[in-house]
Amino acid sequence: MSEHPVIEVDHVSKHYRLTGGARSLKAMALEMLRRKTSGVKILRALDDVSFSVFPGETLGIIGSNGAGKSTLLSLLTGTIQPTGGKIQTRGQMSSLLELGAGFHPDLSGRENVFLYGAIMGLSRKQMQERFDAIVAFAGLQEFIDQPVKHYSSGMYVRLGFAVAVEVDPQILLIDEVLAVGDSAFQKKCLDKMQEFRTQHKTMLIISHDLQTIQKVSDRILLLDQGKIIGLGEPEAMVETYGGLNRKRHAEIFQREWGTGRVRITGVEFQNGDGIETDKFMWGGALNAIVHYRAEERIEQPVFGFSIADNHGRVVHGSNTQIEGLSIPFVEGEGAVRLHLNDLPMAQGHYLFSFSSHSEDHKENYHRMDNCFPIVIECSKEFEGYAYMPSSWSIES
Amino acid sequence: MLKLVSEIWRRRELLWILVGRNLKLRYKHSVLGFFWSLLSPLLLILIYATFAAILKFNVGRPNYLQFLVIGIVIWQFLSMCLNDSLNTILGSANLVKKTAFPRIILPLSMVLANLANFLLTWIVLFLYLLFSGMHFQHIEFLAVVLLAQTALCLGLALFLSTCNVFFRDTEHILGVGTLAWFFMTPIFYPLKDQLAFLPDRLEWLAFFNPMTGVMWGYRTVLMADKIPDVSVPLWFPSISAAVCFVVLGIGLVVFQKLQSRFGDEL
């Protein structure tokens, strides 16, 4: 790792100006007129990204859709230019932004292979030496002189992968191609990538297949909304990404509504030791301090809560009324405390909901559904999502 | 500039393959294939000969048919380059978006493919001219004219292919523009008819239309003394040649300046 990096990305940004629809003189004119009144929207596909890749390293790139992964590879390939920052690459690069990109449907497989080789900067002679290996790898001996438009999509993709790896680049960029082809071909691809690793070649791989990418990468770069969230150990990065996804996922279930007469202004979670956290132990205690604010005097309000798993299924729910706490009235700011002891839930991610409503349930003052994610850690093994205290004995 | 030339030279393999691809795709699915490059000028001559005879629009001008055929064939090289330039970048969107190579190779290969096609039509054109009793003069001069016209075609192709990436309106403007240009150039009428519109001392202004000089050049070489037209001092067409290379320069600058944004626009 003491060698010079083969790829250096230095504070690189890529911004797109969002213009609606096709460009035409009319659209341009309108746009120019409008610019005086409204700002142009800027999409930050990549925002101030810096990292280096070292020779022989396999760097996995993960992130949700729109995180900027493909933009990053396009920038490295050189098909688009960064808005800001600098990119330096050393060594011949072959990129698989899309398998078989640039193949012309009316040309034969053979002609397309040579065209691709020429794009990669290989001479005709070099390509002739590699040609047989390419055809063999793709398994297309009989079809190589057919126009590629007659190929099945599998054949097309196989030829694309074969030609890209057989041009023997020092750096290989792969954008989500592990997912294509049948399982036999996928295995071939993985073997080829393993071979690349042993040959001390540099690879950058984008994939949504977290298991595979964790296995083949030396390091993983986690992108989110154009920014680097983390760069490091594959396992840790996949874990971080998982957390990020769960948070996103939880947002789907989030909902806030009500008349607002008693607003829940914040919820503090504490563990049994009174320390603020969102991580709790199975069997431990959880205290939630629910802060509220009532603009006017409200008689007999009820505060409630519920816990759902990360699919939105309610595990348990209760309120002050059920538990026998009568609140004569609220006015101004205040707080109520929820005590949960011996947390029974299985390991996992849960969503807390809190609500305030009238005594007769006819008016919902404020409901915050699934707005508070927490994590439960559990050392005990059991099935289902809640533990039921149980014991066994031998029947004599 | 030198860097650009050496970069293109380094990628010459790609250039040749793309030229070959352009030629191959032109005649894809056609039975006669390459023969069309020879057949179409032949048919063109036949059609003009037939209609010139029927409509008698060559009245009073000797060798008018040869004059016209040269004009049309020469113009076709330009108009094909102009039409193809609309699609050189857009039509290769997949290549441009997914692979990296000097973008200038795309318009360059298109112009070279059209040039190859153009030179093929010359076989027919030469045979026809010799057969109809023309003899050539200063044949080496042809290289200069051809070079100037190719520079003009490439310059315009660079400019138009770039424009069409950013404004699809280019296509519509080009259609009208080409037609107007065709009539402003002495193709089916002689140069002297055009010069008649200008005061004697300002006749050189006509040569700011680069195609006027190009036409003059080809016809002077290919028809020698049988040209049914006026003779002009050599520095008139030199203006046209200069304009050709200026257009190439502008095309290069515009293309190189904007090519980095192609990936974003496609």
- Touching B: A residues 117-136, CB under 8 Å: 118-119, 121-124
User: What amino acid is encoded at A122 in this protein?
Assistant: L
How confident is residue B50, by pLDDT bands cut at 50, 70 and 90? confident
Domain endpoint, select from A248, A271, A293: A248
Locate tokens 């341009």: which residue?
A: A28
- Minimum Cα–Cα distance from A83: chain B residue: B261
Q: Which of A26, A80, A98 to mutate to test the interface with B (most CBs of B within 10 A)?
A: A80
| Residues of B with Cβ-Cβ distance to A100 under 8 angstroms | none
Task: Chain A: give the shortest CA distance to residue B245, in Å.
Answer: 29
**Cα atoms in the Cβ-side hemisphere of radius 13 Å centred on A210:** 14
CA distance A1 to A23: 47
Residue A221's SS3 state is strand
Inter-residue contact A312 to A351 (CB < 8 Å): yes
| Residues of A with Cβ-Cβ distance to B25 under 8 angstroms | 104, 106-107
Inter-residue contact B88 to B161 (CB < 8 Å): yes
Q: What does the pLDDT look like over B64-120, one tens digit per residue?
A: 888 888 899 999 999 999 999 999 999 888 888 888 888 999 999 999 999 999 998
- How many helices and strands in chain A, by DSSP H and E? 8, 18
Quote the pLDDT of residue A24. Answer: 58
Task: Chain A: give the shortest CA distance to residue B156, in Å.
Answer: 20
Rg (CA), chain A: 29
Nearest to B75 by CA among B152, B163, B170, B161: B152
Six-digit token string for B75: 């113009």
How, if at all, do strands A58-62 and A202-206 pair?
parallel
Quote the pLDDT of residue A25. Answer: 60
Inter-residue contact A377 to A281 (CB < 8 Å): yes
- Are A235 and A260 members of one domain? no
Residue A107 CA to chain centroid, in angstroms?
38
A327 lies in a domain?
A: yes
Which residues of B have a CB under 8 Å from any CB of A? 10-11, 13-14, 17-18, 21, 24-25, 28, 92, 94-101, 166-169, 260-261, 263-265
**In the beta sheet, which residues pair with residue A287?**
A270, A339
Q: Which of A115, A123, A126 to mutate to test the interface with B (most CBs of B within 10 A)?
A: A115
- Are A230 and A273 members of one domain? no
Nearest to B210 by CA among B174, B248, B244: B244
How, if at all, do strands A84-89 and A7-18 pair?
antiparallel
How confident is residue B27, by pLDDT bands cut at 50, 70 and 90? confident
- Are A242 and A261 members of one domain? no
In this predicted structure, the answer to whether residue B264 has a pLDDT above a threshold of 60 is yes
User: What amino acid is encoded at B125 in this protein?
Assistant: L
Domain endpoint, select from A203, A223, A248: A248
Locate tokens 């004697």: which residue?
A: B200
Residue A147's SS3 state is strand
A47 lies in a domain?
A: no
- Are A199 and A295 members of one domain? no
- DSSP per-residue letters across A72-89: HHHHHHTSS--SEEEEEE
Burial A340-376 (b: 16+ CB within 10 A, else e): beebbbbebbbbbbbbbbbeeeeebbbbbbbbbbbeb
User: What amino acid is encoded at A181 in this protein?
Assistant: G
Q: Which of B98, B171, B264 to mutate to test the interface with A (most CBs of A within 10 A)?
A: B98
Burial B121-145 (b: 16+ CB within 10 A, else e): beebbeebbeeeebeeeeeeebeeb
Cα–Cα distances (Å) from B17 to A164, B20, B157, in that order, read 18, 5, 19
Does A104 lie at the interface with B, CB-CB under 8 angstroms? yes
Does A23 lie at the interface with B, CB-CB under 8 angstroms? yes
Average pLDDT taken over every residue of chain B: 87
Q: Please enumerate, as own/partner, the contacts of B228-233 that have beta carbons within 8 Å and a separation of 24 or more.
A: B228/B61, B228/B62, B228/B63, B228/B64, B228/B67, B228/B190, B229/B67, B229/B186, B229/B190, B229/B191, B229/B192, B230/B190, B230/B191, B230/B192, B230/B195, B232/B191, B232/B195, B232/B203
Read off the DSSP letter of residue A40.
P
CA distance B149 to B137: 19
Residue A295 CA to chain centroid, in angstroms?
41
Six-digit token string for B225: 């003394």
Q: What is the CATH number of the domain that holds A128?
A: 3.40.50.300
SS3 for B82-133 is HHHHHHHCHHHHHHHHHCCCCCCHHHHHHHHHHHHHHHHHHHHHHHHHHHCC
Residue A155's SS3 state is helix
Quote the pLDDT of residue B161. Answer: 94
ipTM surpasses cut 0.85? no
CA distance A336 to A325: 10
Inter-residue contact A305 to A317 (CB < 8 Å): yes
- CB-based contacts of A210: which residues, under 8 Å, 6+ apart? A62, A238, A241, A242
Inter-residue contact B148 to B55 (CB < 8 Å): no
- Are A220 and A74 members of one domain? yes
Quote the pLDDT of residue A300. Answer: 93
Read off the DSSP letter of residue A328.
-
Read off the DSSP letter of residue A292.
E
Six-digit token string for B88: 């050189």
Quote the pLDDT of residue A23. Answer: 53
CA distance B49 to B29: 30
Question: How many domains does chain A contain in total?
Answer: 2
Inter-chain residue contact A101 with B25, CB threshold 8 Å: no
A209 lies in a domain?
A: yes
Locate tokens 């005061």: which residue?
A: B199
| Residues of A with Cβ-Cβ distance to B10 under 8 angstroms | 121
Quote the pLDDT of residue B176. Answer: 94
pLDDT values of chain A reduced to their tens digit, one per residue, 396 residues = 457 888 889 999 888 877 655 555 666 666 666 654 455 678 888 888 899 898 888 999 988 888 888 888 888 888 888 888 898 888 777 777 677 677 888 888 898 888 888 888 888 888 888 898 888 888 888 888 888 888 888 888 888 888 888 877 888 888 876 666 677 877 888 888 888 888 888 888 888 888 888 888 899 999 888 888 888 898 888 888 888 887 777 778 888 899 989 999 999 999 989 999 888 999 999 999 999 999 999 999 999 999 998 778 899 999 999 999 999 999 999 999 999 999 999 888 898 999 999 999 899 999 999 888 888 988 888 888 888 888 999 998
Nearest to B17 by CA among A161, A119, A164, A144: A119
Inter-chain residue contact B97 with A78, CB threshold 8 Å: no
- DSSP per-residue letters across A332-373: EEEEEEEEE-S--BPSEEEEEEEEEE-TTSS-EEEEEEEEEE
A114 lies in a domain?
A: yes
- Are A180 and A319 members of one domain? no
| Residues of B with Cβ-Cβ distance to A24 under 8 angstroms | 167-169
- Spell out the domain ranges in chain B: 2-265
- Domain coverage including residue A104: 56-83+92-248
CA distance A232 to A252: 29
A394 lies in a domain?
A: no
Six-digit token string for A240: 């971080």
A386 lies in a domain?
A: no
Q: What is the CATH number of the domain that holds A310?
A: 2.70.50.60
Inter-residue contact B78 to B211 (CB < 8 Å): yes
Q: Please enumerate, as own/partner, the contacts of A100-103 that have beta carbons within 8 Å and a separation of 24 or more.
A: A100/A148, A100/A156, A100/A157, A100/A159, A100/A160, A101/A160, A101/B94, A101/B95, A101/B97, A101/B98, A101/B99, A102/B92, A102/B94, A102/B95, A102/B98, A102/B99, A103/A148, A103/A156, A103/A159, A103/A160
| Candidate from A74, A95, A115 with C-beta closest to B263 | A74
Global pTM exceeds 0.80: no
Inter-chain residue contact B97 with A79, CB threshold 8 Å: yes
- Are A74 and A207 members of one domain? yes
Task: Chain A: give the shortest CA distance to residue B48, in Å.
Answer: 35
Task: Chain A: give the shortest CA distance to residue B24, in Å.
Answer: 9
**In the beta sheet, which residues pair with residue A173?**
A95, A204
Does A28 lie at the interface with B, CB-CB under 8 angstroms? yes
- Are A273 and A242 members of one domain? no
